[in-house]
Structure 1
Amino acid sequence: MSDNGVSRDGSNGFSRRGFLAGTGSILGAVALSAQVTSAHAAQTATTTAAAIDDGARVPVLIIGTGYGGSVAALRLAQAGVDVHMVEMGMAWDTPGTDGKIFAHTTKPDYRSYWLRTRTKAPLSNFLGFPIDKNVPKYTGILDAEEMGGITVYQGRGVGGGSLVNGGMAVTPKRANFGSVLPSVNADEMYNTYYPRANAGLGVGLVDPAWFDTVACYQYARVGRKHAQRSGFPFVFVPDVYDWDYMKQEAAGTVPKSAVDGEILYGNNHGKKSLQQTYIAAAKATGKVSISPLHQVTSVAPASGGGYTVTINQLTTDGTVTATKTVTSDRVFFAAGSVGTSKLLVWLKATGVLPNLNDEIGKGWGENGNVMCGRANHMWDPTGKVQAAIPCAGIDNWDAGGAFAEVAPLPTGIETYASFYLSITKNPHRAQFSWNAAAGKVELNWQTAWKQPSIDMAKTIFDKINSKEGTIYRTDLFGTNKIWGDHLTYHPLGGAVLNRATDNYGRLHGYTGLYVIDGALIPGNTTVNPFVTITALAERNIEKIIATDL
């Protein structure tokens, strides 16, 4: 869920038993993760041929290239509309000095982080020792944006969040859908738009027989055993990885990607990101162009109709080299929950789009994300080689308000650890607001609001620990800290459907302005959200094409 194509600050400047064995090897892995490639001279190239011209006029401009924006681009192009997409991040289509487009999870380099000089990994410690290290400032693929008591991880580049997520393509249970999008017809979503989204994304399921025997999913089999022994349903979860390719990875017949632990900073081979699916199909129409390293700073009504969009062109160190003004008949905000919300809040508060309603900025949530690790016994090794693509989860949503994906910990050594990302029924919602004195948009999330998520996750893991005689790991998120309660991978809300917009994403107060990304969803999807974002975009753009164009 990315904040692609929009200014970072939303302002006008825009501006013990934990390791029963192998401690030495683990510390070695920590040292490995600290190795930073500084070959900055041969920076990853980006596509510039499609860069939009100053003064251009386009029928449709889409801010961002994540799930919602990519769906809109494809369907509009298929309807005969010329579309230009503006992307804050890079194209990620050219290898670096190592011959690979994306950096390895344990070897972060200049490609890894968005304009940071120090890494900020979700799992920041081993045995209490910090592992984050200095990196060259660069327009890298992962943004760790700190605000309001939370770090929001977002993808930066053509493809948005699809570049950096685990690819878990989960459709919510039908019974839960009413709490996710109460104004949307569930029959239409489950009969038409979820199937359409899953087909467009290339969703597939791991082969259960292969899963049962392959070494790289030993960690998930341990997770299954522990869940089932405590009476919890264990479910296989669809994904957008090419499972035939992963089988070849495990067999050693193709270059390894997921089986080599690639996940956090991109995946070089088997993952079907939006670059390989919706964006590829959109480009193939010949009616879609994309400007990478272009950052929208304003959208204002144009005197002759349509909207004047102000865009900064960036270099790979974040320097603005040009400011362009283009005009578009229609503008789609698809910069991710954070990016879309911050830009709209600033536009309303500063009088650029004063007719936006008072729901702008409200209803933001973090999908109840919380992480933890468990220290297993020596007779329950989780495996030295772990596929970085999760494919299974523990479902205690109805009884305890938590769904936990069994996550990899691909360090390359045996850790005897089980690692989890939980999605919970956290009721707290935050709001974006404009701080004129500070000159930026702020979020009022409070870290203490994660406590319901912790309590819900504990309904699973307290029981498993009691049954297995195991304990929580305390060395992964700091010193003597059990819960990763400082982050989210799943930002949602801020321009909620049927509140800030009508029931199809049209912004109130302005004809021709639309929201079509995760900002529409009020804070929680009960599962990993990108399939729902994609399906909702399919629903909304079909209606918009039929009635507005």
Structure 2
Amino acid sequence: MFYSLNGEDLHMSENTLPSNTFSSVSRRAFIAGTGSILGALALPGRAAATPPALESGAHVPALVIGTGYGGSVAALRLAQAGVDVQMVEMGMAWDTPGTDGKIFANTTSPDYRSYWLRTRTKQPISNFLGFPIDKDVPRYTGILDAEQFSGIIVYQGRGVGGGSLVNGGMAVTPKRENFPGILPTVNPDEMYGTYYPRANAGLGVNFVDQAWWETVDCYQFARVGRKQAQRSGFPFVFVPNVYDMDYMKQESAGTVPKSAVAGELLYGNNYGKKSLQKTYLAQAKATGRVTISAMHKVTSVAPAPGGGFTVLIDQITTNGDPITTKSVTADKVFFAAGSVGTSKLLTKLKATGALPNLNGEVGKGWGDNGNVMCGRANHIWDPTGSVQASIPTAGIDNWTNGGVFAEVAPLPTGIETWASFYLSITKTPNRGQFSWNASTGQVDLNWQTAWKQPSIDAAKTIFDKINAKEGTIYRTDLFGVYKVWGDHLTYHPLGGAILDRATDNYGRLQGYSGLYVIDGSLIPGSTTVNPFVTITALAERNIENIVARDL
């Protein structure tokens, strides 16, 4: 499905974050590092009304392109610093129920809400028991974009909240010893002492009750994964999540509407998940200084004659067609459209002459976080359960010896499958590059499916050994006919506007004053774990510097 995570050991105490969070941050440091946030949120609300909705001809002090992790952090901190902020989001607001009374569709029943401007679903698991499971759907600005490039499909969230709407919620802080390889020009003391704790607090990270986890039916699949990992000598590790685990307990008990326990995730989660809509964006809107314009797609950013930047924005319909084009002037522009969105836009703007002074690093250093998937067929005495919570809580750590962390992922089909399913995050050297194709008027990504082989080799260091120990085999029916590896996709796009290369060391774009990148495109291709906590923490670090020095 659409998940990722990482972790370290099984212990949890009253006074520390579990060491399985890949972080040495204590709960006290976690809270202390957020003092400035909590203090700011405790201030009386600003008397002024929310800024008006975006209109053509407007002058905007700060325009944030995108409402994902980086953009949400930027909007909140700018607003708290007294700056009026306009956010533009290509996707929908996702605040209105559909015909079934729910905002989001279930993972097992994709409909018009599920895919971004497709007429047929493009599910990560395309086959089951040898049969194709994709189906026709009405063309609509749905929540999940399966963007097809040469050699890879990139899954991205579309809507207010970005990737937080559709990911597995695995809130993982990387192991500190791996950090220099993730962001080599960033001070790890600052990140682990201040910005990771601040990000975790802002995101609402919490932890599964392991005593409950040990007995509940919806995590039987994970317990099978633990038994088999440990029998083969691999560490099995728990990790935190942004899903409300207390709510999941109530779901399992049948006292509240089911959400994760009902398999909701890939196409949104109706109840228990703490997406950005409920955390950073809610706080940003509460300042009275932030307005979000959904269904608005930025097409151009260029220097304005009188200073600042002229930004052209198409307002679109649910069929993806433009209604009107708006032109606004922004003093400062923050690119936060996600790794792919920001990289494509900057590549286009440089190549077409709108922003010719961007340097040659724009579009480079893009990676897939080493994502690869596989399934294993268990024996009949190892059932994984017909009820599986869609929120993964643990995985298998072989990073030190094999360069891989494998999430023990759910396969919430509603029937017993006797299958174990995994999403692996792996160490891989391969990086792609975006380029402008003048003949098509589109941005291409240079990527080859063959570049996934290092990821497959890393994943095999775990699963070949487990299969040999258990006497089991790989599933060959999930990604096609007789196809073992899901090597056709990524859930974790990173890079394309690398920190301290395309930008300075805080995200200021080289060549222009007042243009910033503040999303996952700053990170060069890998975080060794699920990336959204690192994206959030880096955004917290960068916007603090920008507010202090540029405003």
State TM-score, norm by structure 1. 0.91
Give the equivalent residue in structure 2 for 1:74. 76
- Whether the 8 Å CA contact 1:505–1:514 is kept in 2: the answer is yes
Give the equivalent residue in structure 2 for 1:251. 253
- Cα deviation for residue 51 of structure 1 reads 3.8
Give the equivalent residue in structure 2 for 1:90. 92
Letter in 2 for 1:356: L
1:3-59 deviation per Cα after TM superposition (whole angstroms, max 9, x unaligned): xxxxxxxxxxxxxxxxxxxxxxxxxxxxxxxxxxxxxxxxxxxxxx96410101110
Check if 1:465 corresponds to 2:461: no
* C-alpha distance in structure 2 between counterparts of 1:481 and 1:103, whole Å: 28
- Cα deviation for residue 128 of structure 1 reads 2.0
Give the equivalent residue in structure 2 for 1:399. 401
* C-alpha distance in structure 1 between counterparts of 2:219 and 2:104, whole Å: 23
1:296 maps to which of 291, 295, 298: 298
1:523 maps to which of 498, 516, 525: 525
Give the equivalent residue in structure 2 for 1:46. none
- Cα deviation for residue 88 of structure 1 reads 0.1
Give the equivalent residue in structure 2 for 1:274. 276
Q: How does 1:231-380 map to 2 (within 5 A)?
A: 231-380=233-382
Matched position secondary structure for 1:53: coil
Letter in 1 for 2:373: M
* C-alpha distance in structure 2 between counterparts of 1:59 and 1:458, whole Å: 51
- Note the aligned Cα RMSD (angstroms): 1.1
1:444-482 deviation per Cα after TM superposition (whole angstroms, max 9, x unaligned): 000000000000000010001011110000000000000
2:495 maps to which of 493, 504, 516: 493
1:200 maps to which of 202, 216, 228: 202
Give the equivalent residue in structure 2 for 1:451. 453
Check if 1:54 corresponds to 2:52: no
1:253-305 deviation per Cα after TM superposition (whole angstroms, max 9, x unaligned): 00000000001000000000000000000000000000000000000000010
- Cα deviation for residue 414 of structure 1 reads 0.2
Give the equivalent residue in structure 1 for 2:67. 65
Letter in 2 for 1:226: Q
Q: How does 1:190-229 map to 2 (within 5 A)?
A: 190-229=192-231
Letter in 2 for 1:89: G
Give the equivalent residue in structure 2 for 1:505. 507
- Whether the 8 Å CA contact 1:51–1:292 is kept in 2: the answer is no
* C-alpha distance in structure 2 between counterparts of 1:104 and 1:50, whole Å: 35
* C-alpha distance in structure 1 between counterparts of 2:183 and 2:434, whole Å: 21
1:125-153 deviation per Cα after TM superposition (whole angstroms, max 9, x unaligned): 01221110000000000000000210000
2:537 maps to which of 532, 535, 538: 535
1:76-124 deviation per Cα after TM superposition (whole angstroms, max 9, x unaligned): 1011110000000000001011000000111111000000000000000
Cα distance change of structure 1 residues 183 and 83 upon mapping to structure 2, 3 Å threshold: same
Give the equivalent residue in structure 2 for 1:480. 482
Letter in 2 for 1:256: K
Matched position secondary structure for 1:382: coil
1:439 maps to which of 438, 441, 455: 441
Cα distance change of structure 1 residues 134 and 50 upon mapping to structure 2, 3 Å threshold: farther
Letter in 1 for 2:155: Y
Matched position secondary structure for 1:183: coil
Q: How does 1:89-108 map to 2 (within 5 A)?
A: 89-108=91-110
Letter in 2 for 1:163: L
Give the equivalent residue in structure 2 for 1:413. 415
Stretches of structure 1 that go unaligned for 5 or more consecutive residues are 2-48
* C-alpha distance in structure 2 between counterparts of 1:279 and 1:363, whole Å: 29
Give the equivalent residue in structure 2 for 1:135. 137
* C-alpha distance in structure 1 between counterparts of 2:535 and 2:408, whole Å: 22
* C-alpha distance in structure 1 between counterparts of 2:278 and 2:397, whole Å: 30
* C-alpha distance in structure 1 between counterparts of 2:436 and 2:443, whole Å: 4
Stretches of structure 2 that go unaligned for 5 or more consecutive residues are 4-50
Letter in 2 for 1:518: G
- Cα deviation for residue 438 of structure 1 reads 1.7
1:184-209 deviation per Cα after TM superposition (whole angstroms, max 9, x unaligned): 00000000000000000000111110
Letter in 1 for 2:176: R
Aligned residues: 503
* C-alpha distance in structure 2 between counterparts of 1:240 and 1:296, whole Å: 30
Matched position secondary structure for 1:260: coil
Matched position secondary structure for 2:310: strand
Letter in 2 for 1:335: A
* C-alpha distance in structure 2 between counterparts of 1:274 and 1:456, whole Å: 33
> Which runs of at least 4 in structure 1 moved beyond 6 Å after TM superposition?
none
- Whether the 8 Å CA contact 1:50–1:290 is kept in 2: the answer is no
Give the equivalent residue in structure 1 for 2:170. 168
* C-alpha distance in structure 2 between counterparts of 1:393 and 1:505, whole Å: 33
* C-alpha distance in structure 2 between counterparts of 1:240 and 1:264, whole Å: 15
- Cα deviation for residue 319 of structure 1 reads 1.2
- Cα deviation for residue 389 of structure 1 reads 0.3
Letter in 1 for 2:72: S
State TM-score, norm by structure 2. 0.91
Matched position secondary structure for 1:449: helix
Letter in 1 for 2:339: S
1:519-548 deviation per Cα after TM superposition (whole angstroms, max 9, x unaligned): 000000000000000000000000000000
- Whether the 8 Å CA contact 1:50–1:291 is kept in 2: the answer is no
1:171-191 deviation per Cα after TM superposition (whole angstroms, max 9, x unaligned): 000000000000000000000
Matched position secondary structure for 1:258: coil
Q: How does 1:173-184 map to 2 (within 5 A)?
A: 173-184=175-186
Matched position secondary structure for 1:462: helix
Give the equivalent residue in structure 2 for 1:114. 116
1:202-250 deviation per Cα after TM superposition (whole angstroms, max 9, x unaligned): 0011111011010000000000111111111111011000010000000
Give the equivalent residue in structure 1 for 2:29. none
- Whether the 8 Å CA contact 1:334–1:516 is kept in 2: the answer is yes
2:388 maps to which of 366, 386, 391: 386
* C-alpha distance in structure 2 between counterparts of 1:128 and 1:296, whole Å: 42
Matched position secondary structure for 2:276: coil
Matched position secondary structure for 2:261: helix
Percent pairwise identity: 81
